[in-house]
Amino acid sequence: MLRPTLLLLLCIPLILTAQKTDTKLQSQIKFLLQGFHGNVGVFVHDLKHNKIVALNADSVFPTASIVKMPILLGIMDKITTGQLNYHQRLTYTDSLFYDEGDDILSSFKDSATIELSKVMMLMLTISDNCASLWLQGLSGGGKRINELLDSLGFKNTRVNSRTPGREADRSQYGWGQTTPREIAGFMERVVNNQLLDKASDEKMLRLLGRQYWDEEALSQIPPGVFVADKNGAVDESRNEVVYVNSNNNPYIFSIFSKNNADTSWEYNNEAWVLTRKLSSLLWQYYNPKSKWQATSVSEVK
């Protein structure tokens, strides 16, 4: 069900004009981005002081697995309207098999059953592609998800894969596309219970707070701090959007890259190093009295 959002859409320009650029932080981030071998976009929103940093924040980037946030929206809308039940059992069939990646769901046997809630967990926590494509279908497909996104004011965030009329976009951006500003706004509306309704948004936030892939942005944030996160990666694009519920100063940030020269899948990939540096910079900037120090992957035995 698509919800009327006229009042919210009328308010968005007022919200945006009230946001001021944090010029000090912007200078530090600009310095950090210098020399990156690819195209990068960053959006940061200081939720305490309503200040932002926007660098190439309205450029369109591939989502990679961040497309699973719009899919989550589509499936939660079906649950909210009673068309699906969060705990209903689903039956896996061989027709759902997806052979790319290291997916758990693809190892299921034909006719095995699993709760919808667990399929959603697999999509968000470990970024299981088989689970994600199944949920995209259950939500009504990419066309319906895109209609829902459009009704909520998202003009640049779209699902491309398996979506009629989006073939050219899929060729350029892959499974989905968005901008650093818009996906950060998506996360913020989840945080503020402004996407579907309070119960649905709180459930989405809890789901986004259970992240297996924690060696990039999340590795630079103390483990005792609640974070909601989704990241995505393909060879030439590495992306992440994070909500950090710091008691001192909560904030949301996103970093996207494309046309990356470094297409490796090692820990020291240039885009992943940049993501960690940005996350570290933001944590220290908003929590100057914090004495916590991040550990490296090599220190985990």
pLDDT (tens digit, 9 = 90+) per residue, 231-276?
Answer: 999 999 999 999 999 999 999 999 999 999 999 999 999 999 999 9
Residue-range definition of the domain harbouring residue 196: 18-59+179-288
Question: What whole-number percentage of the chain has pLDDT above 90?
Answer: 90
The span from the CA of 27 to the CA of 161, in Å, is 37
With 80 as the cut, is the pLDDT of residue 220 above it?
yes
Q: Catalogue the long-range contacts made by 22-29 (C-beta closer than 8 Å, 24 or more residues apart).
A: 22/46, 22/49, 22/51, 22/52, 22/53, 25/51, 25/53, 25/285, 26/53, 26/55, 28/281, 28/285, 29/53, 29/55, 29/278, 29/281
Q: Per the domain annotation, does 194 fall within a domain? A: yes
* pLDDT score for 178: 99
Which element (helix H / strand E) includes 290?
Answer: none
The span from the CA of 95 to the CA of 104, in Å, is 15
Q: Per the domain annotation, does 191 fall within a domain? A: yes
The span from the CA of 110 to the CA of 112, in Å, is 6
Q: Per the domain annotation, does 128 fall within a domain? A: no
Q: Per-residue confidence at 301, pLDDT binned at 50, 70, 90?
A: low
The span from the CA of 140 to the CA of 91, in Å, is 17
User: Average pLDDT of the chain?
Assistant: 95
The span from the CA of 229 to the CA of 292, in Å, is 20
95-138 pLDDT, tens digit each: 999 987 789 999 999 999 999 999 999 999 999 999 999 999 99
Whether 38 contacts 260, CB under 8 Å: yes
Q: Per the domain annotation, does 138 fall within a domain? A: no
With 90 as the cut, is the pLDDT of residue 213 above it?
yes
Q: Per the domain annotation, does 196 fall within a domain? A: yes
Q: Per-residue confidence at 18, pLDDT binned at 50, 70, 90?
A: confident
* Terminal C-alpha separation, the chain: 49
Number of domains in the chain: 1
Q: Per the domain annotation, does 129 fall within a domain? A: no
Q: Per the domain annotation, does 123 fall within a domain? A: no
Specify the 3-state DSSP secondary structure of 24. Answer: helix
CATH number at residue 201: 3.40.710.10
Q: Per the domain annotation, does 185 fall within a domain? A: yes
- What pTM did the predictor assign? 0.93
* pLDDT score for 8: 52
What is the arithmetic mean of pLDDT over 185-204?
99
